[in-house]
Chain A
Amino acid sequence: MTDLFTTVVRSTVAKRVGVPQPTSLRRYEPGAALCADPVLVAGSGRFEAGLISWLTTVGIATVTNDEPTSDRLGAVILDLSAATDPSELDQLRVIGAPAVKRLARNGRVVVVGTDPATLTDVAAVSTQRALEGVVRSLGKELRAGATANLILARGESAAGVQSAVQFFLSGRSAYVDGQVVRVGESTATNPDPLRPLTGKVAVVTGAARGIGAEIATVLARDGATVVAVDIPGAGDALATVANDIGGTALQVDVTAPDAGRRIVEHATGRHGTLDIVVHNAGITRDKLFVNMDDARWQGVIDVNLGSILRMNTAILADGGMTDGGRIVCVASIAGIAGNRGQTNYGASKAGVIGLVDALSAQLGDRGITVNAVAPGFIETAMTARIPFATREIGRRMNSLQQGGRPIDVAETIAWFAQPGAAAVTGQVLRVCGQSLLGA
C-alpha cells in the first residue's frame, strides 16, 4: 500500500530534513527467539521467580536489577503485583527508568499487576489501578517500535501470566501498545510451542480476503485445520485462501438462519471437531445518523452482531464446539471510541464487546474462552480507499506512528486461540498501536 505520499515521507530527503520515520516493527516468525537481547525481570512480585525460570527454559537470558551492566535489553518485565501502597510505585521509576534507556529497537516493557477488581483494600486498589496510568503514558513515550503493556493477574497461578508475557515479548504483539490484559487461573500450556494449534479445527468467517484471509492463514500456520467461510458471492477468492492453507471452503452467508448449523456440520462432519470460531465477517454501510436508512442500519447490525448471536446458539449447542474451545470476535476501535458516520457500525461493534463480556462469564465452566480484538488503523484494501488526509491522520495518530497490518490482528487472535491462553477470557484487546482514538 505504498502511495506517493508515503514514498515521499519515507525518502532519504525527508529523513534528512527530520520527518519522523516509523520503525519497521518486529513481527513473529515461528521458531525465532522471543527477543534477541536479555530480559530484565524485577519488581519483587509473586510471578517474578516463575517468569525468570520459565524464560531460562525457553533460552532467553535474564538479568536482575543487581547486575550492573550497560548492555541492551530486549525487554523489561516489572512485576508490581505485590504492591499495596502508592509509595511502592516508585520502584517502577527507580528500576524502570534506567532500564528503558537501555531498551533495544522493538523492545518491550511489560508490567505485571494484580487485577484491582480482586482487591478490597482502597490503597491496594488504587496502587494497582495506578499501573495502568504508568503503562499508557510510557507507551506514548517509547520510540523505535517499543511497546508497553500491562498484565493484571486475577489469581495466583503463573500459567496465564506466562502466556500473556510470551505474547507481549514476541513479535505477535507488534502493533499492540498501551493495552491491559486480565488473566485468570489456569495451568494450561501449549503442547507444541512451534505449532500451538496442532490438532485444532478452526472456523473463520469472512475469510475470503483482507483480515479474514490473514487470520485463516495464521491459524493454519500455527497448526490448525481451517474451515474458511464467506458469502457464496466471494467463493472464488475463498477457494484460493482454502487451497493455499490446505483447509476447506464453506460458502454460506452468516446471516442465513441455518448458518450456524451448516458451520458446525461442516467442521465436525469433515474434520471431526470444532475447537475455534473466529467471528470476523463484517460490513460497513456508513451514513450520518440523520440520513441513515433502514437497509444500512439493519444490514450492519445483522451481519456484525445479530448473526454472531444466532450462530453461537448452534455452535454452543450439544455436538457443537468442544469444551475448552475458543470464540474470538472482531470488534473495532469504532465500537469503543465511536466514529462519525458509523452509528450503525459503532453500535454493532460495541454490541460485540457486550457479547464478549456476557458470554465469557457463562462459558467459564466449559473452559471455553470468549475474547475480541479491536483493530485500529489496519492497512487493507478498504483503508487504502480512505481519502488521503483522513488516511494519513489515521495511520499516524498512534504511538507507533504507522498503520498496523492484517497479520497483527491475526496474531492476536491466534494467541487467544492457543491452549496456553486458557486463562484469558472476556478480554477486548486493541490492536491499534495505541491509537489516540478511544484511548
Chain B
Amino acid sequence: MATQPSPRKARRAAVLGGNRIPFARGNGAYAKASNQDMLTATLDGLVARYGLAGERLGEVVAGAVLKHSRDFNLTRETVLGSRLDPHTPAYDVQQACGTGLEAAILVANKVALGQIEVGVAGGVDSASDAPIAVSEGLRHTLLAANRAKTLAQRAKAMAGLRPGDLLPSIPQNVEPRTGLSMGEHMAITAERWGITREAQDELAAASHQHLAAAYERGFFDDLVTPYLGVTRDNNLRPDGGVEKLAKLKPVFGKGQNATMTAGNSTPLTDGASTVLIASEEWASEHHLTPLAWFVDAETAAVDYVNGDEGLLMAPAYAVPRLLARNGLALQDFDFYEIHEAFAATVLTTLKAWEDPDFCRDRLGLAEPLGSIDRARLNVNGSSLAAGHPFAATGGRILASLAKALHEAGGGRGLISICAAGGQGVVAILEA
C-alpha cells in the first residue's frame, strides 16, 4: 500500500533586503523610461547589492498597474534583460496598488512551503509612459476589417468608422463602476468621518519630515539606487511645513467641506521597487542576515458600488481578521506602515478602528480595536512624501519596514495598503 505523502511543514520566509529607484513625479525625470526600463534597473541594483549576478533564483514576481498590452510578460522580459541567470522564471501579478505587497505574499508563501528557496517580489509603475489605446469604435472596425474576406467586405467594414472613433483612449484614474476618481471617492469617505484639513496637513508634513530625516541619517543608503540622475525621491519637500500646505486649494470634494489638496494627496509618480525574500537556509548559505520574517498576510474587499462602504476602507476590515488569526491586538506593534494614498485614508482608517459603532456593526467586534501610538506610524516617511508609483509602493514599504525592525533590534510591524476596486492588502513582519 502506497504511503500518503505527509504535508510539508511550513517554514519561515525572511525579508533580506530591497532595492528601489528614487520615485519621481510623473512627466518628469523618468518620463521617457518604460516600466521595463525601471524594473530592470531596480532589479540590477538589487543583484549588485546582494551579489546575485549570474544566480538562478526560484522566481521573480512583479507587476504594474498601468501596463501596455505588449508588456504581457513584463517581469520575465525584465529578468531576461537583467544580470540574473536567464533560467530564473518570472510571472506578473496585478492587484492595483496592492500589487507589490501581493507579489511579496506570493513569494513568501512559496518560500514558506518549500517550493522555492529564494525569490524577488517587485512592482513598477509609470504614470508618464502610460498606455494609450485606440477607441473601442476604431478597434471594432479594424477587427471587422481584419475578418473580411473580400475587398468589398473590407471597404464596408471601414466605412463604419466615425470621426469620434479616431480619438485615442487614455487611461483614467477613475473607478470603472462609479466613474468617480479615487480622490473623489476618498473625499466622500473623509467627509463622512469628519476628517479635518488640519489633521491631513499635519500628517502630510510629518511624512515629508520623516522621509527627509531618514535620508539624512543614511537610512536609504542600502535601499535606494539612483536612476537617470535622480538620487532622492523628487516629490520630497524637506522644508514643507504645515503652513505651506495650509495655503493649497482643495482639489477633491465640494464646497465648504472640501479638505483634500495636492499637498495631502499623493501625486502621480514613476518608480519601481524590489524585495529579496528567502528561506533561512538560503540566507545563511549566502551569508545574508534576515532583516525581518514575513509572518502573515490578509486581503479584504468592500462593496463600495452597491454597499455604503468607502472605496479605500478595505484595510480596516483586513487588519482585524489578520490580528485575530495571529492572536494580536492592534497595539502589539512597534511600527505601523499605513500607505498614505491620501492623508485622509490613514486618518479614516485609524478613526474607524477607534470607533465602537464601526467596530461593532461592520467588523463584528465587541470592543473597538482602539488607537495606536502615532509616534510609531510611518516613521521613515510614506507615500505623501516619497510619491506613489502604484505597484512599487508595496516593495518600498516592505523593505523599509524590514530594515527599521532590524535596526531596532527586533519588534513587530504592520503594513496596510489600500487598492482600487475597494481592496486592501495587509501583512505582519517580525524581527
Residues of A within 8 A of B41 (CB): 236
Instruction: Say if the beta carbon of A374 comes within 8 Å of chain B.
Output: no
Instruction: Say if the beta carbon of A68 comes within 8 Å of chain B.
Output: no
Asked if B225 and A242 make an inter-chain contact with CB atoms under 8 angstroms apart, the answer reads no
- Rounded to whole angstroms, the CA-CA distance of A316 and B220 in the bound complex is 27
Partner of B49, one of A244, A248, A272: A248
- Rounded to whole angstroms, the CA-CA distance of A228 and B288 in the bound complex is 17
Within 8 A of B (CB), among A236-283: 236, 238-240, 242-244, 246-253, 256, 269-272
- Given A232-B221, A232-B226, A235-B226: A249 and B49 interface contact (C-beta under 8 Å): yes
Instruction: Say if the beta carbon of B160 comes within 8 Å of chain A.
Output: no
Asked if A236 and B289 make an inter-chain contact with CB atoms under 8 angstroms apart, the answer reads no
Instruction: Say if the beta carbon of A234 comes within 8 Å of chain B.
Output: yes
Partner of B224, one of A228, A232, A256, A271: A232
Asked if B51 and A235 make an inter-chain contact with CB atoms under 8 angstroms apart, the answer reads no
- Given A235-B224, A236-B225, A243-B53: A270 and B48 interface contact (C-beta under 8 Å): no
Partner of B226, one of A234, A243, A269, A271: A234
Asked if B231 and A233 make an inter-chain contact with CB atoms under 8 angstroms apart, the answer reads yes
- Rounded to whole angstroms, the CA-CA distance of A242 and B220 in the bound complex is 19
Asked if B218 and A236 make an inter-chain contact with CB atoms under 8 angstroms apart, the answer reads no
Residues of A within 8 A of B355 (CB): none
Asked if A232 and B231 make an inter-chain contact with CB atoms under 8 angstroms apart, the answer reads yes
Residues of B within 8 A of A235 (CB): 45, 224-226, 231
Shortest C-beta distance, A373 to chain B (Å), equals: 26
Residues of B within 8 A of A270 (CB): 51, 287-288
- Rounded to whole angstroms, the CA-CA distance of A411 and B256 in the bound complex is 72
Asked if B48 and A232 make an inter-chain contact with CB atoms under 8 angstroms apart, the answer reads no
User: Which of A238, A239, A253, A269: most chain B CB closer than 10 A?
Assistant: A239
Shortest C-beta distance, A251 to chain B (Å), equals: 5
Partner of A272, one of B47, B222, B287: B287
Closest-by-CB residue of B relative to A270 is B287
Shortest C-beta distance, A235 to chain B (Å), equals: 4
Residues of B within 8 A of A234 (CB): 226
- Rounded to whole angstroms, the CA-CA distance of A294 and B47 in the bound complex is 39
Which secondary structure dominates where chain A touches chain B?
A: helix
- Rounded to whole angstroms, the CA-CA distance of A351 and B2 in the bound complex is 77
- Rounded to whole angstroms, the CA-CA distance of A236 and B38 in the bound complex is 12
Closest-by-CB residue of B relative to A234 is B226
Asked if B51 and A246 make an inter-chain contact with CB atoms under 8 angstroms apart, the answer reads yes
Within 8 A of A (CB), among B284-306: 287-289
- Rounded to whole angstroms, the CA-CA distance of A236 and B41 in the bound complex is 8
Shortest C-beta distance, A11 to chain B (Å), equals: 38
- Given A234-B226, A236-B226, A270-B288: A251 and B221 interface contact (C-beta under 8 Å): yes
Residues of A within 8 A of B233 (CB): none
- Rounded to whole angstroms, the CA-CA distance of A19 and B53 in the bound complex is 48
What 1/0 flags go to B187-230 for Cβ under 8 Å of A? 00000000000000000000000000000001011101111000
Shortest C-beta distance, B384 to chain A (Å), equals: 23
Asked if A242 and B48 make an inter-chain contact with CB atoms under 8 angstroms apart, the answer reads yes
Closest-by-CB residue of B relative to A252 is B221
Closest-by-CB residue of A relative to B228 is A236
What 1/0 flags go to B354-395 for Cβ under 8 Å of A? 000000000000000000000000000000000000000000
Shortest C-beta distance, B377 to chain A (Å), equals: 26
- Rounded to whole angstroms, the CA-CA distance of A252 and B225 in the bound complex is 11
Instruction: Say if the beta carbon of B54 comes within 8 Å of chain A.
Output: yes
Instruction: Say if the beta carbon of B125 comes within 8 Å of chain A.
Output: no
Residues of A within 8 A of B225 (CB): 235-236, 239, 249, 251
Residues of B within 8 A of A238 (CB): 48
Residues of A within 8 A of B340 (CB): none
Shortest C-beta distance, A253 to chain B (Å), equals: 8
Residues of A within 8 A of B51 (CB): 242, 246-248, 270
- Rounded to whole angstroms, the CA-CA distance of A247 and B44 in the bound complex is 12
Partner of A243, one of B83, B287, B289: B83
- Rounded to whole angstroms, the CA-CA distance of A239 and B20 in the bound complex is 12
- Rounded to whole angstroms, the CA-CA distance of A112 and B225 in the bound complex is 50
- Rounded to whole angstroms, the CA-CA distance of A240 and B45 in the bound complex is 8
What 1/0 flags go to B34-73 for Cβ under 8 Å of A? 0000000100110111110110000000000000000000
Closest-by-CB residue of A relative to B19 is A239
Asked if A249 and B48 make an inter-chain contact with CB atoms under 8 angstroms apart, the answer reads yes
Shortest C-beta distance, B288 to chain A (Å), equals: 7
Shortest C-beta distance, A325 to chain B (Å), equals: 19
Shortest C-beta distance, A232 to chain B (Å), equals: 5
Shortest C-beta distance, B407 to chain A (Å), equals: 13
Asked if A256 and B53 make an inter-chain contact with CB atoms under 8 angstroms apart, the answer reads no
Shortest C-beta distance, B80 to chain A (Å), equals: 15
Asked if A233 and B44 make an inter-chain contact with CB atoms under 8 angstroms apart, the answer reads no
Shortest C-beta distance, B122 to chain A (Å), equals: 15
Within 8 A of A (CB), among B224-263: 224-227, 231
Residues of A within 8 A of B222 (CB): 250-251
16 contacts between A and B (CB under 8 A): A232-B221, A232-B231, A236-B226, A239-B44, A240-B44, A243-B44, A243-B47, A243-B53, A246-B54, A248-B48, A248-B50, A250-B222, A252-B221, A253-B221, A270-B51, A270-B287
User: What 17 additional pairs, Cβ within 8 angstroms, besides A250-B222, A270-B288?
Assistant: A232-B220, A233-B226, A236-B225, A239-B48, A239-B49, A242-B53, A243-B44, A243-B47, A243-B48, A246-B51, A248-B49, A249-B48, A250-B49, A251-B225, A252-B221, A253-B218, A269-B289
Which 4 pairs across A and B sit closest by C-beta, in order of nearness?
A239-B48, A249-B48, A242-B48, A248-B51
